[in-house]
Structure 1
Amino acid sequence: METASTQLKPTGKQRKQDREKSDVKQTLSLSSSVTKVSEYKVPGVGAVYHISLGKSGRLWVSDNDLYLVQTDLQGNQLLILLTNGGYEGYHTVTQDGDLIYTDKNNKVINKITQDNTITKFIKTEDWGPLSIHSSHINGEILVGMMTDEEAKVTRYNKTGTEIQNIQRDNKGQGLYSEPIYITENINGDVCVSDSEKQAVVVVNKSGQHRFSYTGQGSEFNPYGICTDVLGHILVCDEISNTVHLLDQDGQFLSLLLTEQEGVINMYPRSVCVDDEKNMWVGDIDNIVKVYKYLK
């Protein structure tokens, strides 16, 4: 159950941040096409199925073959781990700059501190954790997890205490089947790529189902997912090999990385947006490409 909280009045600092955010929204809009800014080769992985942007130019990348690599932007490999993760978004950088990652076989979430010490952080009991996201809003941790029979999203606070479970809609139906990627929108919505349901499943902060997005009339198989400062949802689709761009209410806006935009032979599987509003895209090769898509 979600704990009740008292309503606090925004501080002067908070009001200033809110003003700055609304200023950003007024000055930013979608570009008519994407522009490639840079690309990075990632040593030690065969593909890029998930990206976590660390602090001070560090990049965490995982493939579909158990490898998790930390690299700098010059392509130097700083750390390589053999994990139990594959084609899921199984790692995330916390507000403190640590990396946390899921171990679905041992039902635990591990933490790697910035001095590369690895510790067990959260035990998930009978549930195998698949996907994980550390909130940019409050540092809370969202985890998509499964047993053989069911799936759910669990919310933890930053110290690892469980505070919420999201599992069923108001009719008692299971919301998730295989939550392989997870993120949070600026309004607190929890957005999940569910490969079994072939849908993006979105609930509000209290866990009520808002909408499910199943593509544009043809087959749709969602992978990496993220959101941006405008509340857009960006999700990689294995079928069309593009990124679907939605607004925060699930309305389809456009396809990114298409041949019409001059992007050839792109097979995006992971996507994230950095503080400079650039879109980072991981491909089925070992290249990460960075694009501008807002102006």
Structure 2
Amino acid sequence: MTTDKAIKKFTKTGDWEPLSIHSSGINGDILVGMTKNEKAKITRYNQTGKEIQNIQRENHRETLYRYQHFITENINGDICTSDYDKKAVVVVNKSGQHRFSYTGGKRNFSPYGICTDVLGHILVCHFTFQNTAVHLLDQDGHLKALLTQPEISRASCICVDNENNLCVGSNDTVTVFKYLKSA
């Protein structure tokens, strides 16, 4: 990256259109979710912009992604994406092997914003015009809780801050609240 506050082109993605981006807190790599001609992939770049990994298919067969609009990395190195077209949270390990897909237990699961916390939980916004909830998953994709608040209707983006507060963007509001008893 750059230390002199200058703007620098990091890398070229060719025909692939970037949809989502995440800077790894583990090693500083940049993860980019991209699409091209109805194909999708995650590409890992090192800090100099060199491509070091492409994740597109599960064991060279089934396509892992369709429209991975949000991306993050868990404390164990898993890459977690919310894929709106697949209606799933898709998680692969740091080697790119598919670990699990979480579909919310309902047909109309609409995952949007996604983040992880200090305990390795995966938090994802489920957004529809009828209802909204934040699904709290463990590292293996099991639902631990549904977090709902009247203030988070139409939640679409989410993060956890340095003090373990959950920050949720919805409509014209950002709501911040505690969701962990202790971390």
**Based on CA coordinates, which of the two structures has the bigger radius of gyration?**
1
Q: Using the alignment, how far apart are the partners of 1:209 and 1:265 within structure 2? A: 31
Partner SS for 1:121:
coil
Q: 2:109 aligns with which of 202, 205, 220?
A: 220
Identity %: 62
Q: 1:164 aligns with which of 48, 53, 62?
A: 53
Alpha-carbon deviation of 1:119? 3.2
Q: Using the alignment, how far apart are the partners of 1:126 and 1:171 within structure 2? A: 21
Gaps of 5+ in 1: 1-95, 99-112
Superposed CA offset, 1:240-263 (max 9, x none): 3111110010001111124xxxx3
Q: Using the alignment, how far apart are the partners of 1:265 and 1:272 within structure 2? A: 13
Alignment pair present for 1:280 and 2:167:
yes
Gaps of 5+ in 2: none
* Larger RCO (alpha carbons 8 Å, 6+ apart): 1
User: Aligned letter for 2:33?
Assistant: G
Q: Using the alignment, how far apart are the partners of 2:176 and 2:111 within structure 1? A: 20
Q: Using the alignment, how far apart are the partners of 2:18 and 2:106 within structure 1? A: 31
Partner SS for 1:152:
strand
Corresponding residue number in structure 1 for 2:156: 269
Alignment pair present for 1:234 and 2:120:
no
After superposition, the Cα gap between the structure-2 partners of 1:119 and 1:236, relative to the gap in structure 1 and judged at 3 Å, is: same
Corresponding residue number in structure 1 for 2:76: 187
Relative to the length of structure 1, the TM-score reads: 0.58
User: Aligned letter for 1:293?
Assistant: Y
Q: Using the alignment, how far apart are the partners of 1:118 and 1:170 within structure 2? A: 38
Alpha-carbon deviation of 1:198? 0.8
Q: Aligned Cα RMSD in Å? A: 1.8
Relative to the length of structure 2, the TM-score reads: 0.91
Q: Using the alignment, how far apart are the partners of 1:162 and 1:284 within structure 2? A: 36
User: Aligned letter for 1:222?
Assistant: P
- 4+ residue runs over 3 A deviation: none
Q: Using the alignment, how far apart are the partners of 1:288 and 1:212 within structure 2? A: 28
Partner SS for 1:122:
coil
Corresponding residue number in structure 1 for 2:176: 290
Q: Which has the higher strand share?
A: 2
After superposition, the Cα gap between the structure-2 partners of 1:265 and 1:190, relative to the gap in structure 1 and judged at 3 Å, is: closer
After superposition, the Cα gap between the structure-2 partners of 1:250 and 1:114, relative to the gap in structure 1 and judged at 3 Å, is: farther
Q: Using the alignment, how far apart are the partners of 2:38 and 2:160 within structure 1? A: 34
Aligned residues: 179
After superposition, the Cα gap between the structure-2 partners of 1:114 and 1:216, relative to the gap in structure 1 and judged at 3 Å, is: farther
Corresponding residue number in structure 1 for 2:94: 205
Alignment pair present for 1:257 and 2:126:
no
Alignment pair present for 1:177 and 2:63:
no
Partner SS for 1:219:
coil
Q: Which has the higher helix share?
A: 1
